[in-house]
Structure 1
């Protein structure tokens, strides 16, 4: 950056992100919009990436590797949160919470949040971020993402922070009657944001909109056996 040129401050970048990425993507839930306007997204990315926190694409949270993790683009995050329709008394499971950005938003919408992560560095970072922001109704737990967190079930809402290629029945079993799960389903490279709703013993699934996201560890299809 040339000397004398002032960097746009984070608050301005955050406002621009909401105006140009979130609101233009038909996110009309004012609770979600307000939270995204107020939460410092730059806290939730690696320090070297802070200047890129408000760009319109996924941001890497971990180094390259088979289980690399990402912060979802704001427009995708906002649409998923709106689709989940979180109520003030809801108990929420956030799977693949990364550094805690979605968990911090959910904590403003819900009564309680369990934020599940399997990467210990991300677990520590998420706990630190939530503590520094004085979030008291969200707990970060460490465990296998594809197992969910049954000890605190049932949940009103389950939100997965990435795409999946299989339907996670063990996680759907952790929904209470009337509860819903939101995830991006990757079908042969095409992503569809999908909402499942438990209706007694049955489960209704509905595709809501097109979306793309990196895949979460543990949710890939097993390789097909070829003769």
Structure 2
């Protein structure tokens, strides 16, 4: 029988701590949340490998290092509301739920959303809810939010999401340009978001956040 608890410890010791992520709530969450339960059954053995886990149909599970560094910079506190976009089966939601007051996961695939809600309940993430709807529309009825994060690559951050961010809130996006990806953190002040580069990472671009290019001859 696979010792997933040992694999979680190894993930934290070899992927998270070496990335200069040392905040106790993040380390504790990643040691506690059973990542193997948040992937399709056929991929349980690969749940703790380093790198992006391809879930098919352009969806992925961000590599543990990327999620941990995002959370480190976002610095979620236990009185804050988080909007988690495209979490698939909800791993990122479950991790964030151990730090935040409320996490709202937006999943547009109805079957994934239903399964995510069940897995989150089993993980006792009672402060997490799954909202079914288009990624780019967020979940305004549960907002506004202190923190927004997107579980996949983007080419742009839609104004519909930024509008759901509180004044002085933070948003984390993995912007992909060609073969290069950079996680940027945006800080909202009034109606304006100021972005800064945080670290390099990569992931498939979510179709909802790809830029439609018009080519002319």
TM-score bracket for this pair, using the shorter chain length: over 0.9
Name the structure 1 match of 2:73: 83
Q: Secondary structure at the match of 2:9?
A: helix
Q: Output one character per residue of 1:93-149: Cα deviation in whole Å (capped at 9) or x when no partner.
A: 000011010100111100001100011121012101111112111000100001111
Deviation of residue 61 (structure 1)?
A: 2.6
**CA distance in structure 2 between the partners assigned to 1:60 and 1:123 by the alignment:** 18
Q: Secondary structure at the match of 1:99?
A: coil
- Choose from 37, 48, 62 the match for 1:54: 48
Name the structure 1 match of 2:20: 26
**CA distance in structure 2 between the partners assigned to 1:176 and 1:222 by the alignment:** 28
Name the structure 2 match of 1:4: none
Name the structure 2 match of 1:115: 105
Q: Output one character per residue of 1:166-195: Cα deviation in whole Å (capped at 9) or x when no partner.
A: 131221111111101001011233111001
TM-score by length of structure 1 reads 0.92
When the two chains are superposed, the root-mean-square deviation of aligned CA atoms in Å is 1.2
Name the structure 1 match of 2:148: 158
**CA distance in structure 2 between the partners assigned to 1:154 and 1:185 by the alignment:** 23
Name the structure 1 match of 2:9: 15
Q: How many residues are paired up?
A: 217
Q: Which runs of 5 or more residues in structure 1 are unaligned?
A: 1-6
**CA distance in structure 1 between the partners assigned to 2:24 and 2:183 by the alignment:** 20
TM-score by length of structure 2 reads 0.96
- Are 1:183 and 2:177 an aligned pair? no
Q: Which runs of 5 or more residues in structure 2 are unaligned?
A: none
